[in-house]
Amino acid sequence: MRARDYTGRWSIEGDAMCFAYGEDPATCWGVRLEGSSVTWVGDGGDEGNGTILSGNPNGF
């Protein structure tokens, strides 16, 4: 994955989605999808959210 300020890798481990940036170890979360909305779920409950966009709208 890539954005203006970072690059990283994602993977699926068991039932979690994991992200690794640079040399840092991967961090994993559960995922809840509702239409185009995604919620990242950790041990303490919902920890973040976003929207899935089609294609490559930012031209990366």
Domain edges within the chain: 8-48
How is residue 15 annotated by DSSP?
T
What is the predicted pLDDT for the residue at 4? 76
The 3-state DSSP composition of the chain as helix, strand, coil percent (nearest 5) reads 0, 60, 40
Least confident of 6-10, 27-31, 45-49: 6-10
CB 7 within 8 A of CB 13: no
Specify the pTM.
Answer: 0.70
What's the rounded Cα separation, in Å, for the pair 29 and 52?
A: 16
Q: How far apart are CA 18 and CA 30, in angstroms?
A: 9
Which pLDDT band holds residue 38 (cuts at 50, 70, 90)? very high
